[in-house]
Every structure is written in C-alpha cells, then in structure tokens.
Amino acid sequence: MGGDFLFTGDRPSPYLARLIPDGVPPFTVTHGRATSSFRVPSGLYQIERSTELSVWTPFVTRRIHGESGVLFFTDNNAPTPQAFYRAVWQTLFSEDFEEGAPDWTTTSVTGTSKWEWGIPETRNLNTAHSGERVFATDLDAPLAHSVNALLTSPVIDLTGARRVSFWYDMDFPGQQEVQVSMLDDTGKKVLYVWEGAFAGQSNGRTKWSEPTPPVVVSKARLKWQLLTGDEGPHGDGFLLDDVAID
C-alpha cells in the first residue's frame, strides 16, 4: 500500500492521506467523530495538514517503536469542508559538520596522525561532499606510520532506524584502512562491526549505506577507526561527511 488514500465513512467529506515516502502505509486520523487506523513501519514521522494541497502545515511529530505500529494523531483544528494529511518520514540523525562537531570525540591511540574537523587541504582529498567542512584523518598532510586513531559519534537514538549512511573519499595506496563499528551508548562495548574495511582509493566522493545492524539497544554510537602500517606510502587518508541514520 502507498501513495494516496481516500477515507470515507462518517466524515462530512472525503479525507485523503498522502504519504511520503511513497509506499509507506497510511496512518490513524481522528477528526471529529471519525477514526481510521493503519499500521506503519517504525520510524519518526512529522504529520502535516492541508486544506487545498498547496500549503502544508506541520502540527505534530510521532515516533513509532518496534517493527511497526499505529501512527495516531488528533486534528484539533476547526472543521473544514475538506482536510488532507501527509506523514513525512524524518531522518533520525544527520550531521554535515558545517556548524562544528562538539559532541564528536577523537582519540589518538598510537601515531601522530589524528582525526581533525575542518576544511580538507591535502593534494588528493580537498573537497567536502556538501558545504566545506568534514572530519578527516589529518586535514592538511599525508598519513603517518603506525597510527591507531578513533572518531566516535555522539549518542544516537536508534528507535525506528533502518539505515546508516555517510559520504566518504579516501586515498590509501598502501597499508591503511578505516573500520566502522557500532558501540553501546557508553562507547566502551562494541556491538557490531561492518564487514569490509575501507581500503584502497575511492576515486571521488562515494556514498556508503547499509541496513542498521540487528542490535537490541535503543541508543548507540558510531565509530570510525583509522589504522596504518609500519611501512609507506600511506596517502592522504580518509574524508567523512554527511552522516545520517534513517
């Protein structure tokens, strides 16, 4: 089910539920005496209302937990000849690094290279995916030998999460790689490690997107770990931008 849904029954006029993204089932609407109930996938939704399908006004946000649930809201606006509703699926978490990253943490375990926030200026990695700023493994110099450096996100609410994504660019001509994992909310316990470390050269900005791992927690952190070998060349490293959880 998806797209547009026409509600009939004891409403004074037809009601339409227009859903974004297309393919998401419709939701519960209470307007006057009429109620319709439908189930939706888990996630965060913003409910918007319109009387003519030209101007949409947000008026409530609802989060669905678990695999799916009933998305319920009450329209307390004055009765109108017709009303249209749509549920906009919201991004649960996003970071483009343009306004700084105060809740992100960097840790240098060994070596002199480290994760840095700002404008990239190396020969091969010098452009963000959006805006100007990124997190990168040394903004203005090639990588050093024997590096173990960590970048950890703030705590993220995973309720309703379905996918993890980010944009990256990398220049790893030798013994270097970045591993991506999910930690618990304390940042001390590894919950999941995505298979296939990032190594080699991406030849331009590339999007990585994977399903949210099957971990039974409501809150977690993401971690990027840079590792370089004892011998070079090591290249310009790894550039991270536009992290999102949907």
Tens digits of residue pLDDT in 55-110: 888 877 777 765 666 666 676 777 777 777 777 777 889 999 999 998 999 999 99
Q: Nearest CA to 24 among 62, 81, 59?
A: 62
Q: Which pLDDT value is given to residue 170?
A: 96
Question: What SS3 state is found at 145?
Answer: coil
Q: Which pLDDT value is given to residue 179?
A: 97
Q: Which pLDDT value is given to residue 22?
A: 42
Q: Which pLDDT value is given to residue 67?
A: 60
Q: Calculate the CA dihedral of residues 138, 205, 93, 23 and round it to 10 degrees.
A: -170
**Residues with pLDDT less than 50, the chain:** 1-37
Percent of the chain with pLDDT over 70: 78
Helix H or strand E encompassing 24: none
Percent of the chain with pLDDT over 90: 50
